[in-house]
Amino acid sequence: MNASDTPSELHCVFEIQRAAYDAAPFAEWDERRGRLERLRGLLNNNEAAIEAAIDSDFAGRPRIETQIAEIFPSTVAIRGALKHGKRWMKPRSAGVSKWFLPARAHVVPRPLGVVGIIVPWNYPLFLSVSPLVTAIAAGNRVMLKMSEFTPAFSELFRQLIIGAFRANEVSVITGGADVGTQFAALPFDHLLFTGSTSVGRKVMAAAAQNLTPVTLELGGKSPSVVAPDYPIDHAVQRVLAGKLLNAGQTCIAPDYVLIPRTALAPFVDAAKRQARGMHPAGIDDVDYCSIVNARQYDRLLSSLQQARTAGTEIVPLFDGAQSDDRAHRLAPALLIDPPPNASVMSEEIFGPLLPVIPYDSLKDAVAFINAQPRPLAMYWFDNDRRRVEWALKSTHAGGVCINETLLHVAQEDLPFGGVGASGMGHYHGRWGFDTFSKLTSVFRQSRFNGVKMFLPPYKPRVAKMLRLMKRF
C-alpha cells in the first residue's frame, strides 16, 4: 500500500490479514521458519540497496553505520529466532496446587492474530525488522507503517516485502501522518509504536478505542553518570561513541552527562580530543551522519541558540565549520550546565548536542535523575561494585549499561523497553515472542479427582475439609 491509498484500502489490507489468521489461527513452526528465512534472504540479497536508500533519506548516512546499527542487529535477531523459535512456542509446564492433584497444567503460547508496527525514521530497517521477527516467530500476521520521513527506504522496503511475502502474511504501509492516524485506529490484536512520547500518547488513545494492547517504545532524557575517580578518557570515549552514532539521532543516545565538579575541565578537554580523533574532517567527515531533514536540523539550531541566549557556555567539539544548512550537518557541542528550563534540558535532544551537568556528590546526581521522568536508558560509569548496586537500586530506567552506552539494545536475550514516560512493554528475542503471543493457561483435569466432594448441596464435611485445607 502506498501514500495514495484510501482509508478503505487500509482497512482492506487489515481484513485480508484477519481472514487469513481466522482461517489458520495457529501457524506451525515450519511455516513460521519459512517466513523468517524469506526475511533473512530479503536482507542478505539487498544490503547495498538498503544502505543506499537510507543514505539518500539522510542525505548523508555513513553506510558502515547502517551496517553496524541496522543490518547487523537485524540479521542477529533473525538468526536468534530461527535458532530458538521452535523451543519458544512449545507448551510450558506449570504447577498445580496439591489439592487439585493429579490434575496437570501448562501454558501454551498462541499467536495473537494481526499485529501492527509503527516504525520511526531514525533506524528504519532495524526498528522494522526487530519487532517483525518476533511477531512472525510468534505466528502472527503483520502490518508495518513506515515513516514518511524516510521515503526512499520506506518504498524500497515495501517493494522488498511485496516480493517476499503474500499480503496476508506481511504488508508495508506508507504515507503521511494522516495514514498513521488511521493505522493506529485499526483493531489490531497488538500494536507496537516506536517514537516520541507526545505521539505515543496519541497512539495509545487511538488503540484504546479498540482495547488494543500496546507496546510503546518512546524516548526521554537518558543520563550518563561518571562516578568520582572513574577514568575520564574511557568515559568520554564511550559517551561520545553513543552520542555521535547517527549524529545523536538515537532514542537511547546519552542525552546529558553528570560529572563530578572537579572533573568538568578534564572531561571537556578529553571530549574535544575524542571527537576530533573520531571525525578529523569535522562535519565533512565521511563517517559523520547528517541530520535527517530541515525540520529536525532547524529544531536543533533553535535549541542551541536558546541555550546560548540563556548564557550557557557552548563548547564546540569539531574544528572548522560548526554547521552546514544545505547538507543539514551539525557539529557536536557540549553545553555546560544549561538552565533547567532550556529545551535541551526539558526535551529529548535527538541530535549531537550534549549538556554536561557538574555535581558535588553522587547522591545529588541520583536526585537529579530521579527528579526527571523515567528515562529509556541510563549509563553509569563506575568501578566501585557497591556504588553500582546502590545506583541500580536508587534509580529507575528502561535499561542500564555499566561502563558502556547503547550496547544493551544489541543483546537479544535482554528485554528492551521503557518505563513510565519512556514507554511500556518490551520486546527482542524471547521477550518479543511473549509480547506477541497470548500465553494461554491450560488446566487438564484428571479422570479421578475429588472436585465432586465440593458440590452442593453442601454438607458439614465441606466446611471441615476447608478448615483442614487452610491449615496446610
**Nearest-angstrom CA–CA distance, 134 and 130:** 7
Tell me how long the chain is. Answer: 472
Q: What nine digits make up the cell of 381? A: 560509569
**Nearest-angstrom CA–CA distance, 173 and 436:** 20
Cβ contacts of residue 433 below 8 Å, gap of 6+?
81, 85, 88, 89, 109, 134, 137, 138
Catalytic residue among 65, 251, 401, 412: 251
**Nearest-angstrom CA–CA distance, 365 and 359:** 6
184 secondary structure, DSSP code: H
Cβ contacts of residue 314 below 8 Å, gap of 6+?
304, 307, 308, 333, 334, 335, 336
Q: Report CA-CA distances (Å) from 275 to 244, 248, 322, 374.
A: 8, 13, 13, 29
Q: Any alpha helices (H) in 185-263, and if so which ranges?
A: 197-208, 232-244
**Nearest-angstrom CA–CA distance, 387 and 335:** 27
Q: Which of 127, 117, 119, 118 is nearest to 66 (CA)?
A: 127
Query: Which single residue is written with the C-alpha cell 547502517?
Result: 66
Q: What nine digits make up the cell of 3? A: 501514500
12 is catalytic: no
Phi, then psi, of 237 in degrees rounded to 5: -55, -45
Q: Compute CA 340 distance to the chain's CA centroid, rounded to the nearest angstrom.
A: 27
Phi, then psi, of 411 in degrees rounded to 5: -100, 110
Q: Which of 454, 59, 392 is nearest to 249 (CA)?
A: 59
Q: Which of 54, 454, 41, 399 is nearest to 220 (CA)?
A: 399
**Residue spans of beta strands (DSSP E) within 250-371:** 256-260, 313-316, 323-324, 329-330, 333-336, 353-359
The answer to whether the beta carbons of residues 183 and 173 sit under 8 Å apart is: yes
Query: Which single residue is written with the C-alpha cell 526487530?
Result: 130
Catalytic residue among 217, 289, 348, 401: 217
Q: DSSP for 117-129?
A: EE--SSSTTHHHH
The answer to whether the beta carbons of residues 110 and 78 sit under 8 Å apart is: no
**Nearest-angstrom CA–CA distance, 217 and 215:** 7
251 is catalytic: yes
Q: Which of 47, 22, 53 is nearest to 152 (CA)?
A: 53
Please give the positions annotated as active site: 217, 251
